Amino acid sequence: MKAAVITTVGDAFAIRDDLELDRPGADEVLVDVKASGLCHSDYYVATTEIGQSLPAVLGHEVSGVVIEVGANVVGFAAGDHVVACLAGFCGRCDRCLSGRSNLCRNYPAGTQRSPGDRSRLTLGGEAIAQFSEVSGFAERVLLHQNNAVVIPHDVPFPQAAILGCGVTTGAGSAIRSAGVRVGEDVAVIGCGGVGLNTIQGAALAGARKVIAVDIQPTKLELASTKFGATHTVNAADQDAVEAVRELTAGGVDHAFEVIGGIPRTLEQAVEMLAPGGTAYIVGAQPPTSALAMPAANFLFQKTGLRGVFMGSTNFKVDIPLYAELYLQGRFNLDDLISRTIRLDEINEAYADLAGGNVARSMITSF
């Protein structure tokens, strides 16, 4: 099988055609990949030392067609269109059984093969790490059934793929994690593939002001013309905190940091809150990233700071929901796809993402 492999942090993705993918185990679904999105998280893992086991096949934003299912798989059949989601769950713990699979106590082991079992992915007989239980920069993926969901045939594959991470994380952070309510004010710092979805999630939930903050005019334009931002702030030209406080007569109810790795923008998210507001850490933070903020401000401003993983999604519910809203014309997936590429163009496409030029590049040819 062909796939993009990372062997050393900081190296370019190497395209190889000699990987082996195992046959489906009892709970597994083998999928022919049709689209695979270039989320910033994979680039972050490829370029930052975070303890990821290597060599690995990265990629976690995938749609495709089921080829074969294991003996215990329920609800999937060959020919089904599916989306992968790394927010896997065991389905047996108290969290899962009380409808909060996003807080599964057995994540991620609950959907991994047991230690000692054959690795799902191998190269010359040696195990290759399956990043996020998906490894989507590949021709095929082998998923636990609790890392995949069936979607309608009429959602195009690139649009479907982004449901797996950019949408569940972005829109979910507004709708599920923050529970944005009608009339609340929201600021989103960072309008990439994830942040644009936070913006449209907040708009869908009925926010009054949805303020997009970025340093790229093209992203701000996209945020306001296609995704429901009511106001834009170019943080390269003005102080983001002052601008947001001015636009809202003193701060927002919810501020989302959707860039990652820059402690200053996280502080900005907290500083632009109204009394009682909450800031959310959505962007990925390296293990060394630390905040130094006056604790008393949280006390007297009654504010909070909260980490959000994958938009608190119960993805078996949320992905079909966003797919249906898309088919109804109420959720924009089309303008998230900046361009489609071949697997062997992955390094150039990530360089463009790092430059801030694209919302999402989608691999559609392998």
Binding site for ligand PAD (CB under 6 A): 39-41, 44, 165, 169, 189-195, 213-216, 219, 235, 258-260, 262, 265, 282-284, 308-310, 353, 356
Q: How far is the CB of 60 from ligand PAD (least distance, A)?
A: 8
Q: How far is the CB of 44 from ligand PAD (least distance, A)?
A: 5
Distance CA(102)–CA(96), nearest Å, equals 8
Partner that binds at residue 284, options Zn ion, ligand PAD, none, CB closer than 5 to 8 Å by kind: ligand PAD
Contact 261, 40 (CB under 8 A): no
**Closest to 286 (Cα-Cα) out of 256, 263, 265:** 263
Partner that binds at residue 259, options ligand PAD, Zn ion, none, CB closer than 5 to 8 Å by kind: ligand PAD
Cβ nearer to ligand PAD, comparing 103 with 262: 262
Site string for Zn ion, 148-167 (x = CB under 5 A): -----------------x--
**Closest to 315 (Cα-Cα) out of 108, 148, 156:** 148
Q: How far is the CB of 45 from ligand PAD (least distance, A)?
A: 9
Q: Six-digit token pair at 266?
A: 């996280």
**Peptide bond just before 152 cis, omega within 30 deg:** no
Cβ nearer to ligand PAD, comparing 189 with 247: 189
Cβ nearer to ligand PAD, comparing 24 with 283: 283
Partner that binds at residue 245, options Zn ion, ligand PAD, none, CB closer than 5 to 8 Å by kind: none
User: Which residue's Cβ has the minimum distance to ligand PAD?
Assistant: 192
Measured N-to-C along each axis, helices 195-204 and 217-226 cross at an angle, to the nearest 10 degrees, of: 30
Distance CA(342)–CA(340), nearest Å, equals 7
Strand segments (E) across 272-359: 273-281, 304-307, 337-342
Contact 122, 128 (CB under 8 A): yes
Residues near Zn ion (CB under 5 A) are 39, 41, 165
